[in-house]
Amino acid sequence: MPRPRVAIFDFAGCEGCQLQIVNLEEALLDLLRVVDVVEWREAMSEQSDVFDIAVVEGAITRLEDEERLKRIRQKAPVLVALGSCASSGGLNKLKNRMAMSEARRLVYGRDGGVSRLDTAPVKAVSEVVKVDYLVRGCPIDRREFSYVVRCLALGREPFIPGYPVCVECRIRENACRWQEGEICLGPLTRAGCGAACPAQGAACLGCRGTCDDANLEGMASVLAQYGKSREELESRLAVFLDPDGKGVSHA
């Protein structure tokens, strides 16, 4: 039985999620026994127009990128959005809170030829084309990526938790960041990271998007209990979740 052909593409992002794939190290060799990587700019020079699974990292920030992404989708039986930038727009989506002319000026300066730059409001991959699976996180958990790809190679549906990060915090017996005086988005954020940030003494920023049935309004009582304001919560939500607090829908 031939191995599924995988192509990895990048758009606007730091490429940290692709680096996490490289960080699989010896485990990457095991993964390559079940799939055939036919294109991956960060690790190989070969290219291919034929692939079974397209893995897309990065947000979409230019009109020409939208057209490129559509061409990839047309060729790919399965498309996987890799990381927060691809899944929800990630940190790049903070640009949408200002006029595009102001974003150009802040990044390139008044005399940087900005009129020729084809920048546009940031979009998640799913806002341009249909996404079949999401591997969330900033950066991704490399073990989750390996698990998802193995499932797809074997024709199985990967299980991605729908419950909040708080569940994983309780399992790991982490100190609650709320009780430490911080605003933590663990009650709203989809699990699957092993509560990595709280385990290291940092509040969850919501990089994995919202969990199933996330109760934003229910956070009001938590805010009141710990003497925090809704404005403080909304400033945290703006980092990775959509401005309306709903986050990105799951595929």
Over residues 6-32, the pLDDT tens digits come to 999 999 999 999 999 999 999 999 999
Q: Look at residue 149 in the predicted model and tell me its pLDDT.
A: 97
Residue 48 lies in a domain: yes
Distance of CA 16 to the CA centre of its chain: 11
- Which of 153, 177, 210 is the last residue in one of the domains? 153
78 phi and psi angles, rounded to 5 deg? -130, 135
For every residue of 54-120, which 3-state class applies, written as one string? EEEECEECCHHHHHHHHHHHHHCCEEEEEHHHHHHCHHHHHHHHCCHHHHHHHHHCCCCCHHHCCCC
The total of structural domains in the chain comes to 2
Do 54 and 143 belong together in one domain?
A: yes
Mean pLDDT of 184-200: 95
Q: Is the pLDDT of residue 248 over 50?
A: no
pLDDT score at 13:
94
Q: ∠ at Cα 174 (169, 178), nearest 5°? A: 85
- Which pTM value belongs to this model? 0.90
Same domain, 148 and 27: yes
State the pLDDT at residue 249: 36
- 31 & 130 share domain: yes
Does residue 251 surpass a pLDDT of 70? no
Same domain membership, residue 193 and residue 226: yes
Residue 250: pLDDT band (50, 70, 90) is very low
Query: Residues 170, 130: one domain?
Result: no
Residue 88 lies in a domain: yes
Instruction: Compute the mean pLDDT over every residue in the chain, rounded to the nearest whole number.
Output: 90
The CATH number assigned to the domain holding 39 equals: 3.40.50.700
- Give the range of the structural domain holding residue 215, as residue numbers without chain letter: 165-240
Domain-located, residue 160: no
Does the bond joining 121 to the residue before it have cis omega, within 30 degrees of 0?
no
| H helix runs in 3-62, sequence order | 16-22, 26-31
